[in-house]
Structure 1
Amino acid sequence: MNARRHSGGKSRKAAALLLSAAMVSLSVLSACGKSEETGGAEASASPQANSSASAEPAANTMPIVKDGSVTLTFMGNENFYAAKSYKQNLPVWQEIEKRTGVKTIWDVTPSSQYVKVAGVRVAAAKDLPDIMLVPQDPVKTAEDGLIIPLDGLIDKHAPNIKKFFKENPILHNRLKAPDGKLYFISSITDGAAYTDPIGLLLRKDWLEKLDLQEPRTLDEWYAVLKAFKDRDPNGNGKPDEIPLSFANHGMNGLTMFASALNLHFFYSQGFYPDKNGKIQFEWADPRAKELLVWLNKLYSEGLIDPEFLTKKDDALVGNISRDMVGSSVNFLNQADRYNAAQKQSGSDKASWMLALPPTGKDSKGYYEKYGPFSGYFAISSTSKNPEVAIKWLDYIYASEEGSRLVHFGIEGTSYNMVNGQPEFTDFVKKNPEGLDAVSALRSIGAYPTVPWIRSQKGFTSLQPQALLKLNPVLAEQAKRIETSLVDAVPFGFASPKENEEVSTTVSADFKTYLDETLVKFVTGKEPLDNFDKFTAKLQSMGLAKLLELKQKQYDRATKK
C-alpha cells in the first residue's frame, strides 16, 4: 500500500493531506503532487514511451518473449495469505509465466512493512525493480525521474489497457499527473464496491426482539439506538449494551449518518460540488451543525461507544461476541464475520444486516462507494525492458485471459467454465483445508496484490459477483442498496506548485483544528453555539484558497 511521504516539514505535509488526490478504500492511502519539470523521468524513457496518436495497437501475441528470455522484478506487497508467498512460484504465476514467457522475481514485503522498506530504496534511488507499487507520493516519484510515463508504451504495446481507459475516461483522467501524463496504473475497485459496500451494520434480531422497524430517518435511528440501550435486547439483565460501536474509523464513522442531510463526509471529506459544479466545503454548511447537534445528543445519552475514537477491531469483535453491540460501521462482508463470532460464543440467534442509508427531508439516502483506486503501480526508469513490462501488465491487468487467471485462479482447480462463464469449484466454496473463499484463491496466487481490475461491467466484473453468489443472504443485501450507492467526489492529483500554494496560504493546523473541533462538538467539550465561530476560524485559516485549489483538482479529474 502506498502512503504520502514529504520532506518539506509540517506545512508541506499539511498541504498534502488537504489536497489528497484520490479517495481510497479503508486499507489504502493515496498520494499527490508533481511539477511541470519531469527531468529524469522523461529523459530515461525510451522513445516508445512518448505520447502518440497512433491507431489501435494489435493484440499482443503470446508468449510475449521466448520462454525465460526476459525476467522482470516486481516490488510490492507480499501475499495477504501469509502461508503462501509469491516467492514460492504459486500456480497462477506459474501459468502466467508459461503463457507469457516472462519470468518474475518477487521482491515482496509484508504490507505492514512495505512502505518503510520500499520507501528507503526509492528515496535512495537504488536497486529499483522493473515494476513497483510506489511506496510514496507517486507523482513526486515521477518528478524525481524514478518512474517513466506510460502513455506511449500503452498506446503502442498495451491494447487492453488502452481500451479500458478509453471506456473509462474519468478513471483515466484521475490517474494522470498535473502535466497530463500517465505515470502509473492502479487496481480498480469500483465493481467490488457494489458487491461489498460499506455502510451501517445493524442487529436485525434485536429489531425483531424489540418489535422495531428498520430505521431510516435520524429520529428513527435515535429511537432504535435508545431502545437498544434501555430495553435489554441481549436479555442478560445488565445495562451493558453499546448501541453504536465501530473500529478504526474515528470521527469519520459517525459521518455515515450525514446522508440524511445530503452531506458527503465519509469519503468525500466534505469537499463536494454544488449543482453548478462548484466545490463547497460542507463542514461549513449549517446542515453540518444540525448533524453535530444530533450526534452530540447520541453521545451525551450514551448511545455512541465512548471509545469511538480509539476502538480497535479486536476489541470491537470481542464486544460483539459478548452480544453487546447493536450497530456498527463496516463492509457488508463483516456481517458474516460478526454472526460467526457471536455463534462461536453461543449467540446463535444473532443476525447482522446492512441497513438502508439514513434519509431525510431533502435526501433519499446514500452510501458513498469506496475506491475506485488501490495502490499506484509504475515502471521504473532503470528497467531495461519497459516494453515487456507494459505488455506483461497489459496481460495480467486488462486482458480477458490474464484477468481470469488473477481473478479466478486455475481452471479445473479453483474454477470451471460453465455455459461460457467461470464458476468456482469446491476448492473455493468448500475448501478442503477450511479456508474461506478469498484465502483459498490467494493460496494459489489469485486475488493478488499486483494491479488488477474489479469493475462494474464486462469480464472484470465477474469475480466480485461470483464471490457474492457464494452467500445468498449477503447477495440479497447488496442488491437491496445497489441504487443507494453514489460516487465520492473525484479529484485529480495536486502539483507541487499547488501544494506550495497551500503551504503558504492555508494554515498548517487547518486539518488538525477541523478534526479536533468536530470531536469536541460531538463530545460536548465545545458548545455548539460556537459553530459560527468554528466556520469563521476555518475561513481565517485559508478555506477559500483551499477550495480554489480543490476546484482545479476536480476540474482536472472530470474534464472530458
Structure 2
Amino acid sequence: MRRTRKSYAWLMVSLTFVTVLATACSDSPQHSVPDDNPAKPKLTYWAELNGNAGSVKPSFLEVPFFQEWQKRTGVQLKFIQPPTNQAKEAINVLLASGDLPDMMEYEWNQFPGGPVKAINDGYIIRLNELIDQYAPNLKKYLSEHPDVDKQIKTDDGSYYVFPFIRGDDQLRTYQGPIVRKDWLEELGLQTPTTIAEWHAVLQAFKEKKGVEAPLTFLGVPNTLFGIEGGGFVGAFGIKKGFYVDQGHVKFGAAEQGYKDFLTTFRQWYAEGLIDKNIATVDTKTMDANMISGRSGATIWNAGAGLGKWQPLVEDKDKKAMFEAAPYPVLKKGDRPKFSQRSYAYEGTGGVAISSKSKHAEEAAKLLDYGYSPEGHMLFNFGVEGISYKLVNGYPTYTDLILRNPDKLAPAQALAMYSRSSYFGPFVQDVRYMEQFYTLPQQKKAVQIWSDTDVDSNILPQIPKTELENAELSSIMNDVTTLVDEMSLKIILGVESPDTFDSYVSQLKALKIDRAIQIQQQALERDRKR
C-alpha cells in the first residue's frame, strides 16, 4: 500500500482537511462560562460545532441553545471545539494525548475496532450501570423501543453512548438530488429521472446557460462523499460501500456497476459537467455554488439545502426555484434501488463519557436531560415563547425561526435555539420536520426521495464483536484508501477504466472478501437474535 498512498497524495494535496492536526487542535476554540459556583464541577465537552450554527456564531457558548442547556441543568460546560470538517483527525490527536475531556460527541460506532475496542482501550466507559442509576429517561425510552435498544448496544450488550435517535420513520430520509427548476423550464426540459436525461440537462446548463460547474456535490471529508447515499452510482445497481442484494452482503466498489458509474462520471468530468474541484467541495463551497448559480444541480438535504438556498436565491431573482429530482435510474420507469436512508440510530451525534472523567455521574445526568419531557422540548423546539409557542398543544415555531428578522435561513435560526435539525443526545421529534420544511418543494422532496427500494437493500445497523470490528477496520482502512484513490484517478482521467480489473485484484489482495464475510456473518447472527 505504500506506493498506493504515495500516488494518492498528489491528487489530494489541495484538500483543506490535510493540515497540521496537532496545531489545529491546540489552536481550536475552547470557551467556558464564568465559574460563579466553584463548588459545582465544570464539565468538559468535546464536539464539532454544526455548520448551520457555526455560520452564525463561531463558538458553542455563543449559541443560545447551549447557554439554555447549562442554565436548565445547572451544569457548567467548557467546550473543546475541533476545526470544521476535521473531527476524525482531531479526535485521533486528542485520544493520543491522553488528556481527555469528560464527554466526547463523535461517531463511536466508526471507531477503528468498534466501540468495544474504544472501551477496552480505556478511552470511553461502558455505560450500562450509569444508565441504570442516573439516566432514567433514556432507560425508559429504550425499554419501550427494543428495536432501537438493539441498535445502540455492542455485540456483548454494552451501551457506549447517549445516542441521537430519529423518533419517526419519516425522519430517516432527508437527502437527494436537487436541480434548478427555473432553468429547466427556461430550457424546455423536464425533471431528469435517468442517467441519460441528467446528462442532457447538465449539458444544457453548460452550453446554453454558461454554467461553470453544472453538477456539484461534497468531496469532503472523503472522495465522492456526496453520493454515498446512492445518488447517481445507485443507477448502476450498486452503492459505493456495503449493501444487501437478496440477502447477500456485497461491496459496491468492487462490482462491475461501479466501473460503469466511474466511466460515466469520467465522461461528464471531461465534458465540464462536474465541478472541477470535485475533491475539495465542502458545505460552504456547495452553498456558494448553488446560491451564486455557479452550479445548477447537486445532492443535498431538504433542510440545509432546499430550505437554505431557496429564500436566498429568490431574494435576488423571484423566478429562481429549486426542486427535488428522483434518484436516477438507467431505464425510464425503473424504480430506484438506492437512496439516502438513515437508521433510527446510526452513530452520529452520540456522546460518550471518557474513562478519564471524574464526573461520570454528573455527565450522565446532564446527557439524560435530552430524553426527559422537558429536555425533549428544548432539544427539538428550543425555548417556549422565544423559538416556539404551544398552539392547541402543538409546539409551533415562531417567526424568529421561520421568518427570521436578521435574514437567517430557518436552518440557521433553528440551529441557534435547538438541535433538532442536526444531532445530539436526544430523540428527534417528527413535528420539527413538519414545520421546518416550510416550502412545498421540501415536503414533496421527502416523498420523491423516499420512493425507492432502499429498505430492501440497505445493510442494517449490526453490532459486531471486538475482534470482528478490529479486523474489519484494519481491512477497510486500506480498502477505502484504494477505492478513493482509484475513483478519483479514473474520474479525473489520470487512469483508464480498463485498470478496473487490476484494481479489483488489489481489493481482493487487501482482503475485501474477508470484510464481506464479516458483514455477512454479523448479519446472519443478528437475524437469529
Q: TM-score, normalised by structure 2?
A: 0.75
Q: Give the deviation of 1:353 after TM superposition.
A: 1.3
Moved more, 550-559 or 421-430: 550-559
CA deviations 1:58-96 (Å, max 9, x no partner) are: xxxxxxxxx998656241337635648655795775577
1:377 aligns to what? 351
Q: 1:311 to 1:215 in 2, by over 3 A?
A: same
CA-to-aligned-CA distance 1:445-465 (integer Å, 9 cap, x gap): 66599833354xxxx322232
Q: 1:482 aligns with which of 450, 462, 470?
A: 450
328, 350, 368: which one aligns with 2:340: 368
Q: In percent, how many aligned pairs have the same letter? A: 28
Task: Give 1:220's aligned residue.
Answer: 197
Structure 1 unmatched runs, 5+: 1-8, 14-26, 28-66
* Equivalent-residue separation in structure 2 for 1:248 and 1:193 (angstroms): 27
Q: In 2, Cα distance between the equivalents of 1:309 and 1:376?
A: 28
Query: For residue 427 of structure 1, what is the amino acid of its counterpart?
Result: L
- The answer to whether 1:451 aligns with 2:424 is yes
Partner of 2:376: 403
For 2:495 and 2:397, the matched residues in 1 are separated by 54
Query: In the alignment, what sits opposite 2:216?
Result: 245
Match of 1:63 in 2: none
**2:432 maps to which of 440, 452, 463:** 463
Instruction: Give the corresponding residue for 1:183.
Output: 160
Alignment match of 1:258 (pick from 218, 225, 233)? 233
Q: Does 1:173 align with 2:150?
A: yes
Worse overlay, 383-392 or 512-521? 383-392
Amino acid at match of 1:405: L
Give me the whole-angstrom Cα distance separating, in 2, the residues matched to 1:283 and 1:545: 15
Residue 253 of structure 2: aligned partner: 283
Separation in structure 1 between the aligned mates of residue 101 and residue 272 of structure 2, nearest angstrom: 53
Aligned to 1:20: none
In the TM superposition, what is the alpha-carbon distance from 1:210 to its structure 2 partner? 1.7
Aligned pair in 2 of structure 1 residues 109, 213: CA closer, same or farther (>3 Å)?
A: same
1:227-280 alpha-carbon deviations (Å, 9 max, x no partner):
3333x1x3xxxx454332234354344561122233223xxx2x112212x311
Structure 2: stretches of 5+ with no match in the other structure: 6-16, 18-36
Distance between the aligned counterparts of 2:283 and 2:48, measured in 1? 22
Partner in structure 1 of residue 105 of structure 2: 133
Q: What are the within-5 Å matches in structure 2 for residues 198-213 of structure 1?
A: 198-213=175-190
Aligned 1:222-237 pairs, distance under 5 A: 222-230=199-207, 232=208, 234=209
Q: How many residues align?
A: 476
- Relative to structure 1, the CA distance from residue 521 to residue 432 in structure 2 (aligned partners, 3 Å threshold; closer, same or farther) is closer
> After the TM superposition, which residues 21-170 of structure 1 pair with which residues of structure 2 at under 5 Å, given as runs?
71=41, 73-77=43-47, 80-81=53-54, 83=57, 87=61, 90=64, 94=68, 97-98=71-72, 102-112=73-83, 122-126=95-99, 128-129=101-102, 131-133=103-105, 137=111, 138-170=115-147
Query: Structure 1 154/144 Cα, relative in aligned 2: closer, same or farther at 3 Å?
Result: same
AA in 2 matched with 1:165: L
State the secondary structure of the residue aligned to 1:202: strand
1:314: how far off?
A: 4.9
- The TM-score, its normalising length taken from structure 1, stands at 0.72
Is the contact made by 2:381 and 2:418 (CA closer than 8 Å) also made in structure 1? Answer: no
Is the 1:258–1:264 Cα contact (8 Å) retained in structure 2? yes
In 2: Cα distance, 1:521 partner to 1:439 partner: 37
Provide the C-alpha distance between the structure 2 equivalents of 1:226 and 1:516, rounded to a whole number of angstroms.
27
Q: 1:310 aligns with which of 261, 271, 280?
A: 280
Within the candidate set 390, 398, 418, 1:425 is matched to: 398
| Contact 1:251/1:309 (<8 A) preserved | yes
* 3-state SS of paired residue (1:368): coil
Are the counterparts in 1 of residues 70 and 76 from structure 2 also a CA contact under 8 Å? Answer: no
Find the counterpart in structure 2 of residue 23 from structure 1: none
Between structure 1 and structure 2, the one with the greater Rg is: 1
* Distance in 2 between residues matched to 1:377 and 1:303, nearest whole Å: 40
Letter in 2 for 1:153: L
Secondary structure of 1:186's aligned partner: coil
Q: Which residue of 2 aligns with 1:545?
A: 514
Q: 1:291 to 1:375 in 2, by over 3 A?
A: same
State the distance in 1 between where 2:168 and 2:99 align. 37
The answer for the alignment partner of 1:534 in structure 2 is 503
Q: 1:385 to 1:226 in 2, by over 3 A?
A: closer
